[in-house]
Structures are given as C-alpha cells and as structure tokens.
Amino acid sequence: MQVAVDGPAGSGKSTVCKKVAISNDLMYLDTGAMYRSVAYLSLKFDRDKLLDIIEKVEFIFSDNGSKLSLKIDSMIEDVTDIIRSNEVTSIVSDVSSDELIRKILTNKQQVIALSNDIIMEGRDITTVVLPNADVKIFLTASVEERAKRRYEEVNGLTDKSYDEILADIIKRDDLDSNRGVAPLIKSDDSYALDTTTLTLDEVICEIGKLIVEKRG
C-alpha cells in the first residue's frame, strides 16, 4: 500500500500522516526532513562534496518518523532539531530546487517505498516520486490558517510574530510552487482535502476512509 500526500508548508501533513501511519500500520516518511538534512549539510560542504555525501548518506528515521539521524560513513548524527532551525528553513527551498539533489533523493525515496507499506509526504510525491500510489492526496488550508497553526506550534520556540510567519509561508509557497523542477502542484488524480475548517480527527478519518476503500 502506497499513500502519497503533497501540500504546502503548514498544511498539517506531518501531524496528519504520522497519525494515519499508526492507525493504518504504515511506515511514515517525511521527505521534507530529507531536503532539510541536505540543506543542513550544504552549510558544511561545497557542492561537489555535498553531492557525494548525499549519495552515500543513510537516513535513519525512528520514533514513527519523528526523529532523524544521518549516517555518513561510520558517523551518526541526530539532526532532528537542527533541521528545523531558522538557518536551515531559510535555505531549504533554494537547496531543494537543485535538479541533481532532487534526483538523488527521489531515487532514495522510491527505494524505501519498494519494500514498505508507506505513507510518504512532501511536495512532489503524488507527481514525481510515487505517481502510481494507491491513494493520492493534496492537502491544503488557507494561508492564514496555515500561518496560525505554525505560529501556535512554534510558540515560545522562536521570537517570530504571526505576521513574520505568514510572510515566510507566502514566500515558501511561491518558491515551492513556481520552481522549474518538480514544483508543488495538485495532479488531476489527487484527492483535494482542504483542512481549513476541519479538525485533525476529521482529516484523519477522511484519509482513513480512502485507504480502507482501496484495501477493499
């Protein structure tokens, strides 16, 4: 079973997919965390070295996909927190528009999906990574609602105001949707789920129904 979920920043993909994974016995894969890891590594290495490292890095997800460590040669580094830092967030859209980086990560994601029943979320899962997934969902919400959720989520962890978070999201939407390679778009065969006025449980229930229908 392959469930592919795409959607813009702050649409609630991670929260929703983690819960759906548990209730439907699926592996959860957060591809945004993989792009964030590459953005983090790009702060340390030049492009040639970076490409070499991404080819061989092992992404080790644990705790139902909430934690991530990178294994490079015999070194293991827990990057769970650092990949959510403002510094990494500010460069990740740029890094993820690199065609070669996308090719390497797409391949790794497809290999993981080959041997697991999975729910995978990101920006190009329904269109590029798993175009033949059993269930394809485009999750969204109004930009104001997404900024509000993000503001509540990071409350106390950053000194950013609601307006600054809203501006960040608008900028990331623009970069993710208008880049040349694998832009964020809703494919015709994806199920559009607007969560602006739905509770978390309602969204989980809706996706659960689609999975059950497919499983027959």
Binding site for ligand DC (CB under 6 A): 9, 31-32, 35-36, 92-93, 96, 122-125, 172, 176
- Amino acid (1-letter code) at residue 156: G
Least distance (Å) between residue 213 CB and ligand DC? 25
Least distance (Å) between residue 67 CB and ligand DC? 14
Q: Which is nearer to ligand DC, 54 or 125 (CB)?
A: 125
Least distance (Å) between residue 61 CB and ligand DC? 14
Q: How many CB atoms lie within 10 A of CB 109?
A: 21
Q: Which is nearer to ligand DC, 9 or 141 (CB)?
A: 9
Distances in whole angstroms, Cα of residue 150 to Cα of each of 10, 111, 133, 145: 6, 31, 28, 9
Least distance (Å) between residue 95 CB and ligand DC? 8
Q: Which is nearer to ligand DC, 7 or 204 (CB)?
A: 7
| Six token digits for residue 212 | 């059950």
Q: Which H or E element spans position 30?
A: strand 27-30
Q: Which is nearer to ligand DC, 2 or 124 (CB)?
A: 124
Distance CA 119, CA 124 (A): 13
By C-alpha distance, which of 7, 1, 4 is closest to 169?
7
Burial category of 116 from C-beta neighbours within 10 Å (exposed 0-12, middle 13-18, buried 19 and up): middle
Q: Which is nearer to ligand DC, 26 or 98 (CB)?
A: 98
